[in-house]
C-alpha cells in the first residue's frame, strides 16, 4: 500500500442525500489532476449528520474531519493541503475530538463510520467477531445468561429484556427455530438501524449468529423496509461476504454449528414493524397483527419458536459477549442498562446520532448535543419515541432518558428518536396528524383503531373549527380512552399519546 | 381502466416466480421483482403469480392491496416520494409538498400512466436529521428546498431526453 493517503467519504444514505457521491468524485478527479495517489474509502457515517458530507483524512495524528464538503469545496481543500490535515474553514480538527462525538459512549456504534463497512478484515481489526468466537465456546444457556446479565432490553421500542425472550425461545421445544431481525424502522425521527446496517453490517450478522447459537436456531431473516435501498444493498453484500468467509455456513468455522441468513424487503407498511405483523409479512401474507398469546418465542414464524429483535438489540450482543455482561451493564441508569443510540432530528442545528448511556437528559440531547434549532427559532416541543410517542414541552426537558423516567412523565423512549419542533409548530395540526397517520397505517384488524382514528381526526377538525368545543373535547377524550384500552396492538393503543400530550401541554393551540 | 391480459409477459412472470422457487412466503419478493420490471402489478401478472404459487387470486390480491408499495396501474415516468412524517414536517415538508403539487400541477397519489411526474406521500425515509427528504427510485435527497426540488426535476427531464 504505502504512499497513498486514505480519504474517507461516507456512503451512508443521509450523506449521499446531500451529495457525498459528488464530493467523492470531485476528490478523485482533483487528486488525479494533481497526480496525487489517494485511497478513497467509502465508510459509514460518524453520525454527525449536519456535517455531511463529512470527509476525513488519515494523518499520522489521527483522522482529521472536514465538513460539510460539497463538490465545489474540493479544490480549495486541496489548495489548503487537507491531505496532510491542512487548515481550512471547513476543518474541525480530529474527528474523535469533536465534542459531539467525544462526549458519546459508542458501544453499538463503535465501528460505524470508522471502518469500511464491507471489509471483513477491517471489521475484525476493530473488534469484530470477538463476541461470536466467544459464543462458539459457550453453551447456549451461558450465552443467554450473559445477555440477561447485561440488562440489554429490546431497542425496537417496547424495551422487553432480551435475555428473557431468548430464554423462552431456548426452552421452547422444537428442532426448527428462527431469528428474525426487525429492520422495519418506520418511526419518524429514527435512522439508527439504517445507519448501522449501512455502516457496520457485519455486527448485525454477528449478533444474529450469536442469537442462533443461544437458542438453537439455524436460520435468520432480516426484514428491511423498502424505503432503505442502500441498507438493503449493503446487507445483501455483507451476507455474501460473511458467508464466503465461513461465518454463515453448514459448519461454522468447523465447529459443527450452522446458520444462514436471508434478507427480505418490506413493502411500505408501518404496521409491519409490529412483530406479529412482520412475521405474517415474512410468510408472504398481509401484515395483519395477530392476537397474543402465543408469543413468537413459542410460536412465531411458520409456527416455530422465533426470536424477533430489533437491529440494535442484535447488533449489541457481540460487544456484550466480547467484553462481558458487566462491562455493558456498567453503563446506564436504574433498570435502563447500557447505552442507547439517540437520534436527533427535525429542526435541530446538530442533527445526528448520539449514543450515550441511558440517563442523559432530554435537555442535554437537544441543547448540548443538538445546539437548539437549526432555524434559530426557539424550541417549542419535542416528540420523543416516534409517531406514537408523546409531545414534550421545553419545560419538561429535564427528564432523564430512561424507560422508567419517560414513562413516569407520560412519555416514551421508544426507538430513541427525538424530533425537535420550533415555536411555529401548530400542535393541533400535529395531534390531527397522529390520528391521520393511524388511519393510513392501521392494519384494520380491530375497530377501536380502524374506526377510532377516522373519528379522532374528524373530532379534532371540529375542535379546530371551534364547533361545540366542550362536547367535542369530551368525545375525543372518550375516544382516546377507548383506543388506549381496547386496541389490539400499540398502533391504536398509543396513538392517543401524541394527541393527549399535545392537548395537555399546548391547550392554547386548540382554539377557543 | 382496460385490463387486457398480456400473455407475452407470462414467461417473464413465471421466471420471476421460479427464481423464488414458487414459494408463497416469497410473495412480497416476487411482487417487488415484477414491479421493478413492469412498473406495476397488472391483473394478468397477479393471475399468473397466484397460479404459480398455488394460492387463490383473492389471497394474492389481498396481499397486493395491503401494502402501500404495490401499484395496480401503470406508473408515471417518475414517482417523487416526499416524506410527510413528523421530523420532516418540523422543517417544512408540508410547504414542500404543496409547492410540488403546484409546480407539477398534480395531486399526491393520482398521477396517470406515463405522466411526467407522480407524487407519493411516504412516512419517513430515515433521513430525519436532513429533512425535508424525498426519494426518486433509489436516490435519496435531503434538505430539499423548492429550488433544489426544481433542479432535481429538471435533471430528471434532462436525463430522459438523453
Ligand atoms: C405499530 C408498531 C410498530 C413497530 N415498529 C417497529 C419497528 O419498526 N422496529 C422494531 O424493531 N420494532 C418495532 N415495533 C416493536 C416490535 O413489535 C417488537 O417489540 C420488537 O421488534 C422486538 O424487538 P426488541 O425486543 O429487540 O425491541 C413496533 C411495534 C408496534 C406496535
Ligand atoms: S390497533 Fe390498529 S394496527 Fe393494531 S391490530 Fe388493531 S387495527 Fe391493527
Ligand atoms: S421523517 Fe422524513 S425522513 Fe424521517
Residues A291 and A340 in one domain: no
**For the CA of A153, the nearest atom of ligand 1:** 25
How far is Cα B92 from Cα B72, in angstroms, rounded to an integer? 31
Extents of the domains making up chain B: 10-66, 78-161
Residues A301 and A392 in one domain: no
Tell me what pLDDT residue B161 has.
85
Q: Is residue A112 part of a domain?
A: no
Q: Structural domain tally of chain A? A: 4
Last residue of a domain, one of A367, A391, A422: A422
DSSP code string of B68-137: TT--SS---S-EEEEE-SHHHHTTTHHHHHHHHHHHHT--BT-PPTT-S-EEEEES--S-TTS-S-EEET
Residues A404 and A445 in one domain: no
Q: Residue A267: list chain B partners with CB under 8 A.
A: 28, 31-32, 67-70
Residues A198 and A238 in one domain: yes
Provide the domain limits for residue A390.
332-422
Residues A218 and A260 in one domain: yes
Tell me what pLDDT residue B7 has.
59
Residues A216 and A293 in one domain: yes
CATH numeric code, B78-161: 3.40.30.10
Q: For residue B3, what pLDDT band results from cuts at 50, 70 and 90?
A: very low
Whether ligand 1 lies within 6 angstroms of the CB of A441 is answered as: no
Q: Report the nearest-CA residue for atom 7 of ligand 1.
A: A273
Last residue of a domain, one of A295, A311, A329: A329
**Long-range contacts made by residues A157-166, C-beta under 8 angstroms, separation at least 24?**
A157/A187, A157/A310, A157/A385, A157/A386, A157/A412, A157/A414, A157/A415, A157/A490, A158/A490, A159/A336, A159/A403, A159/A413, A162/A309, A162/A313, A162/A317, A165/A297, A165/A307, A165/A309, A166/A211, A166/A214, A166/A215, A166/A307
β B79-83/B134-136 pair status: antiparallel
Residues A416 and A440 in one domain: no
Q: What is the pLDDT of residues B62-114, one digit of tens each?
A: 999 999 999 999 999 999 999 999 999 999 999 999 999 999 999 998 777 88
Chain B contact present for A126, CB below 8 A: no
Q: Which ligand is nearest to the CA of B128?
A: 3
Chain B contact present for A511, CB below 8 A: no
Whether ligand 1 lies within 6 angstroms of the CB of A154 is answered as: yes
Residues A303 and A351 in one domain: no
Q: Residue A281: list chain B partners with CB under 8 A.
A: 28
Q: Which three cell numbers stand for residue B43?
A: 391483473
Whether ligand 2 lies within 6 angstroms of the CB of A390 is answered as: no
pLDDT tens for chain A, 512 residues: list them. Answer: 457 999 999 999 999 999 999 999 999 999 999 999 999 999 999 999 999 999 999 999 999 999 999 999 999 999 999 999 999 999 999 999 999 999 999 999 999 999 999 999 999 999 999 999 999 999 999 999 999 999 999 999 999 999 999 999 999 999 999 999 999 999 999 999 999 999 999 999 999 999 999 999 999 999 999 999 999 999 999 999 999 999 999 999 888 899 999 999 999 999 999 999 999 999 999 999 999 999 999 999 999 999 999 999 999 999 999 999 999 999 999 999 999 999 999 999 999 999 999 999 999 999 999 999 999 999 999 999 999 999 999 999 999 999 999 999 999 999 999 999 999 999 999 999 999 999 999 999 999 999 999 999 999 999 999 999 999 999 999 999 999 999 999 999 999 999 999 999 999 999 86
Looking at the predicted structure, is the pLDDT value of residue B2 above 80?
no
Residues A353 and A277 in one domain: no
Note whether A387 contacts B127, CB cutoff 8 Å.
no
What is the side-by-side strand order in the sheet with A352-357? Answer: A352-357, A339-346, A417-422, A379-384, A391-393
Residues A171 and A270 in one domain: yes
**For the CA of A289, the nearest atom of ligand 2:** 5
Rounded to the nearest whole angstrom, what is the distance from the C-alpha of residue A188 to the centroid of ligand 3?
Answer: 5
Q: Report the nearest-CA residue for atom 29 of ligand 1.
A: A274
Residues A197 and A252 in one domain: yes
Rounded to the nearest whole angstrom, what is the distance from the C-alpha of residue A329 to the centroid of ligand 1?
Answer: 23
Ligand 1 pocket mutation, candidates A193, A275, A387, A441, criterion most atoms within 8 A of CB: A275
Last residue of a domain, one of A76, A102, A128: A102
Ligand 3 pocket mutation, candidates A268, A345, A416, criterion most atoms within 8 A of CB: A345
Q: Is residue A47 part of a domain?
A: yes
Looking at the predicted structure, is the pLDDT value of residue B5 above 60?
no
Q: What is the pLDDT of residues B34-44, one digit of tens each?
A: 999 999 999 99
Looking at the predicted structure, is the pLDDT value of residue B1 above 60?
no
Q: Is residue A113 part of a domain?
A: no
DSSP type of residue A270: G
pTM over 0.90: yes
**For the CA of B87, the nearest atom of ligand 3:** 1
Residues A303 and A288 in one domain: yes
Q: Is residue A115 part of a domain?
A: no
Mutation target vs B (from A15, A381, A419; most B CBs, 10 A cutoff): A419
Amino acid at each position: 500500500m504505502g504512499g497513498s493517503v486514505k480519504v474517507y467519504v461516507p456512503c451512508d444514505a443521509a450523506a449521499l442525500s446531500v451529495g457525498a457521491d459528488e464530493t467523492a468524485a470531485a476528490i478523485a478527479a482533483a487528486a488525479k489532476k494533481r497526480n496525487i495517489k489517494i485511497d478513497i474509502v467509502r465508510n459509514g457515517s460518524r453520525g454527525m449528520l449536519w456535517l455531511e458530507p463529512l470527509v476525513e483524512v488519515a494523518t499520522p495524528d489521527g483522522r482529521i474531519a472536514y465538513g460539510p464538503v460539497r463538490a465545489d469545496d474540493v479544490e480549495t481543500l486541496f489548495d489548503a493541503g487537507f491531505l496532510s490535515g491542512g487548515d481550512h474553514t471547513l476543518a474541525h480538527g480530529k474527528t474523535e475530538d469533536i465534542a459531539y462525538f467525544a462526549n458519546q459512549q459508542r458501544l453499538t456504534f463503535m465501528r460505524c463510520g470508522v471502518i469500511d463497512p464491507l471489509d471483513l478484515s477491517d471489521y475484525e481489526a476493530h473488534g469484530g467477531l470477538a463476541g461470536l468466537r466467544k459464543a462458539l465456546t459457550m453453551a447456549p444457556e451461558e450465552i443467554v445468561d450473559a445477555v440477561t446479565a447485561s440488562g440489554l432490553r429490546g431497542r425496537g421500542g417496547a424495551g422487553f429484556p432480551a435475555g428473557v425472550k431468548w430464554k423462552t425461545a431456548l426452552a421452547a421445544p422444537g428442532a426448527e427455530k428462527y431469528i428474525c431481525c426487525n429492520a422495519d424502522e418506520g418511526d419518524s425521527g429514527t435512522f439508527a438501524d439504517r445507519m448501522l446496517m449501512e455502516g457496520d453490517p457485519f455486527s448485525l450478522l454477528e449478533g444474529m449468529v450469536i442469537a442462533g447459537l443461544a437458542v438453537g436456531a439455524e436460520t435468520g431473516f432480516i426484514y428491511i423496509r423498502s424505503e432503505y435501498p442502500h441498507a438493503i444493498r449493503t446487507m445483501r453484500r455483507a451476507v455474501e461476504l460473511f458467508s464466503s468467509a465461513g461465518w454463515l455456513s453448514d459448519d461454522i468455522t468447523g465447529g459443527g454449528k450452522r446458520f444462514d441468513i436471508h434478507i427480505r424487503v418490506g413493502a411500505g407498511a408501518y404496521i409491519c414493524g409490529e412483530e406479529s405483523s412482520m412475521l405474517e409479512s415474512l410468510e408472504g401474507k398481509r401484515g395483519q397483527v395477530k392476537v397474543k398469546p402465543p408469543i413468537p418465542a413459542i410460536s412465531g414464524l411458520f409456527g416455530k419458536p422465533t426470536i424477533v429483535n430489533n437491529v440494535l438489540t442484535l447488533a449489541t450482543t457481540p460487544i456484550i459477549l466480547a467484553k462481558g455482561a458487566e462491562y455493558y451493564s456498567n453503563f446506564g441508569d436504574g433498570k435502563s442498562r447500557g447505552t442507547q443510540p439517540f437520534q436527533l432530528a427535525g429542526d435541530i442545528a446538530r442533527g445526528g446520532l448520539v449514543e450515550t448511556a441511558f440517563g442523559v437528559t432530554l435537555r442535554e440531547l437537544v441543547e448540548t448535543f443538538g445546539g437548539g434549532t437549526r432555524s434559530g427559532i426557539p424550541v417549542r416541543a419535542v416528540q420523543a419515541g416516534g409517531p406514537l410517542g408523546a409531545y414534550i414541552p421545553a419545560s419538561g426537558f429535564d427528564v432523564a432518558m430512561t424507560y422508567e423516567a419517560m414513562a413516569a412523565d407520560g412519555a416514551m423512549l421508544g426507538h430513541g428518536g427525538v424530533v425537535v419542533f420550533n415555536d411555529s409548530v401548530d400542535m393541533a395540526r400535529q395531534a390531527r396528524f397522529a390520528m391521520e397517520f393511524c388511519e393510513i397505517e392501521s392494519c384494520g384488524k380491530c375497530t377501536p383503531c380502524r374506526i377510532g382514528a377516522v373519528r379522532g381526526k374528524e373530532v379534532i377538525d371540529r375542535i379546530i373549527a371551534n364547533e361545540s368545543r366542550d362536547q367535542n373535547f369530551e368525545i375525543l377524550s372518550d375516544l382516546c380512552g377507548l383506543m388506549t384500552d381496547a386496541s389490539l396492538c400499540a398502533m391504536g393503543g398509543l396513538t392517543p399519546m401524541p394527541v393527549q400530550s399535545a392537548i395537555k401541554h399546548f391547550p392554547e393551540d386548540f382554539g377557543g | 381502466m382496460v385490463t387486457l391480459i398480456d400473455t407475452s409477459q407470462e414467461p417473464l412472470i413465471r421466471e420471476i416466480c421460479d427464481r423464488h422457487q414458487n414459494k408463497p412466503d416469497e410473495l412480497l419478493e416476487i411482487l417487488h421483482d415484477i414491479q421493478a420490471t413492469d412498473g406495476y402489478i397488472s391483473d394478468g401478472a397477479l393471475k399468473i403469480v397466484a397460479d404459480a404459487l398455488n394460492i387463490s387470486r383473492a389471497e394474492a390480491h389481498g396481499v397486493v392491496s395491503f401494502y402501500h408499495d404495490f401499484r395496480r396501474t401503470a406508473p408515471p415516468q417518475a414517482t417523487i416520494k416526499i416524506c410527510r412524517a413528523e421530523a420532516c414536517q418540523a422543517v417544512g415538508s408540508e410547504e414542500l409538498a404543496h409547492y410540488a403539487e403546484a409546480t407539477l400541477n398534480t395531486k399526491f397519489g393520482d398521477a396517470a400512466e406515463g405522466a411526467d411526474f407522480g407524487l407519493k406521500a411516504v412516512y419517513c425515509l430515515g433521513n430525519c436529521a436532513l429533512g425535508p427528504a424525498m426519494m426518486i427510485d433509489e436516490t435519496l435527497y435531503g434538505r430539499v428546498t423548492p429550488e433544489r426540488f426544481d433542479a432535481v426535476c429538471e435533471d430528471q427531464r434532462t436525463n430522459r431526453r438523453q
